[in-house]
Chains A and B, each alone.
Chain A
Amino acid sequence: MKIEQIYKVFDEYRGLSDSKLRPTEPKSEQFLKAFRELLDKKNNWPFLLPLRLALEACTHCGTCAEACPVYIGSGRNKLYSPVYRADMLRKIYKRYFTLTGKVFGSLVGAKEVTEQDINAMAEAAYRCTICRRCVLACPFGLDNGLVMREMRKIFAELGIIPEELKEEGVDNQLRYGSAPKISYEALMNILDFVRGEIEENRKNVSIEIPVDKVGAKYLIINNAGDYLSFLDTIRGIVEVMNYVNVDWTFNSPRTGVFDNVNYGLFYSDKDMLRVIRAHLETINKLKPEYVVIGECGHAYDVLGHLMKDLIPAEERPFKVIHIVELYDKFLREGKLKLDKHKNAEPVTFHDSCKIGRCGGIYDEPRRVIVASCRDFREMYPNREYNYCCGGGGGFALMSKYNFLDFRMKTYGRLKMQQVKDTAASTLITICANCKRQFLDMVSYYNLNINVSGLSEVLANALVY
């Protein structure tokens, strides 16, 4: 669709379709009702404290803007400053939910909500990947990224959710076992192909790919998108697991959900919990000791962290780790014999927000990369200060209208410069959404760089 045809409500881009946003339909009553429910202790206990802190204690110092990759990448467009976007909701909060706002109105920054405000906020909520880098800048630890996520939750109650996340994401996953609707037969064909490919490349190596094995030590659940778009990563996982010869398994749609994603994280606690419950049901059928999250960031955030405070311990009798933690364990146990000269080209590593800043995994991938690559180059800034690539918050899946331009001209522009500065020929990342964003960047900017997962890099360095 041409840009001129797009009903602009916030900036020059659109991430939500007209059928979802319904820009001409009055929504203010529903909006205020959903907002009121969001501020209720029972409805929103997990996030109420950080939300209210962010709404009430921000001093508008603007320091957070300098940490925001979309603000910097856009050439410092005020619309993308975290404090500006969060203030859109803050003004309404003050007007309807605080005494000072009701009494003093605009003197304290309170504002009556309008239909234009609501449309603009719905789009603004999808201009932030919720990478949470801005939190590092705030002297008080306030989270304007969380405010964006809470805004998305309000709009989810109004049915305003990108189709890519809801219908093509969560709904498909719960109905078919994976967001891309991969059938059992298709999955088996893919895995057969992977087996054949490895055996052809590694002569005299016999490959087994256990599927749906009950009681295995490690149940590896991948981002199902990897089976379609990043098969090298699947090949890498299979090869490494065969190499170390441990008790492991993948799972299939026959056991329930075999896709580790949880797009509910990006717009609704209710849908996030629905997916967590579906994951639990599947995992508890297979009874593994460890659930290993394949190369995916937000899945690790949900199952590795958030689930622990949402689901009682007795309902989840297993440990959750990211696959890079497993590789690091194998490495430290001496189970991997590696020749780093097999990966001779310079490589760099992107810290995915959900795995690093929100997940705490920084050293493990670096140890594995240093052991398997000859020339590892850090990008700067890195670790908790690393810039989001722009694929987070569900953005990697969203490309309708001109949304790809937004991703590329803001986050993408900044990130690609960061990668270019390393002069690496391969970029390694351990999150499928990051990989998608990087592949789009390579194509958009016509760059000569290879985007890779860690599994295939590690597998390539194995010495038989």
Chain B
Amino acid sequence: MDEYFTIFIGIYLPYITLVVFIVAVIYNFFKWIFLPRPIMWAIFPAKKSLANILFTIATRIFSLPGPRKFDKLIFTLAWMFHVGLIVSLTLHAKYIFIPHLPYEYEVGTIAGMLAAIGSVGFIIRRYVDKRADSYFADYFALILLIITLSLGQYIRMFRVVESTHLWTWVQGILTLNPIPPPVNTLFLIHIVFAQIYMIYLPFKTLIHPIAIFYGQKIILDQRHFKG
């Protein structure tokens, strides 16, 4: 692969991605704060204290009571997808600190498979399900993720890239002393797709994990603000 292209996607693109990602996430989180506090619009039983509201939001994020009660399939897929994705991302984030973790290979492989099964399940469900219309944007995020996950899984399972090199590459980016990434076509394609996904996330998919705090707070908060 062209050397300049490798440098672009391994050295410059990560900074572009990080800036876009961080700015867009901050914007997406704070844009709701500047909207007026709404009228009390709770669904009862609701909560009377902020601590109770926040605790319940935290439990609902993991327990997903709505999907669990009304749609077991999406509940199962959502669990597989999100747990798989969070573990996979955590194993990537560890490069900030260390090159290896115990059982990383096994845990990473299982997590990648869970996330991939969840993503494929979501796509099939979107295509088959007639209750809601899905648009190109809905499929695009999932397709992007499936490609990224599949390549990542292959790279991990067949140990295509040396992990110490990955660690030094991530360290270089974070300490503003970037070095060229491992030169492997599949790995480079993997990080291109991963970065496109990260740039795309805040504009589409990442809105919902932020919105959950605001949406759940509205329906859990039974406090009136005029006494």
Contacts and interface: CB of A to CB of B under 8 A. Distances in A.
Interface string A339-369: 0000000000000000011111010000000
Q: What secondary structure prevails in chain A residues at the interface with B?
A: helix
B131 A53 contact: no
Given A41-B36, A48-B38, A109-B135, A57 B208 contact: yes
Question: For chain B, which range describes its interface: under 10, 10 to 19, 20 to 34, or 35 or more residues?
Answer: 35 or more
Interface stretch (A220-228, A240-248, A305-313): A305-313
B218 A310 contact: no
A63 interface: yes
Contacts of B2: none
B138 interface: yes
A104 B203 CA distance: 12
B224 A308 contact: yes
A286 interface: no
B103 interface: no
A56 interface: yes
B225 interface: yes
A140 B137 CA distance: 19
Question: For chain A, which range describes its interface: under 10, 10 to 19, 20 to 34, or 35 or more residues?
Answer: 35 or more
Contact of A360 (B32, B220, B222, B226): B222
Contacts of A63: 66-67, 70-71, 74
B43 A357 contact: yes
Contact of A107 (B69, B131, B136, B205): B136
A41 B217 CA distance: 19
B45 A53 contact: no
Given A56-B207, A108-B135, A47 B66 contact: no
A315 B133 CA distance: 47
B78 interface: yes
Contacts of B189: none
A140 B208 contact: yes
A62 B131 contact: yes
A336 B140 CA distance: 64
A136 B135 contact: no
Contact of B38 (A46, A65, A78): A46
B43 A107 contact: no
A48 B214 CA distance: 12
A136 B66 contact: yes
A137 B67 contact: yes
A370 to B, nearest CB: 20
Interface in B1-57: 32, 35-46
Interface of A: 41, 45-50, 52-53, 56-57, 59-67, 71, 76, 78, 81, 83-84, 87, 100, 104, 106-109, 132, 135-143, 146, 305-306, 308-313, 356-360, 362, 384-385
Q: Which 5 A-B pairs have the closest CB atoms?
A: A141-B215, A57-B211, A62-B131, A360-B44, A46-B39
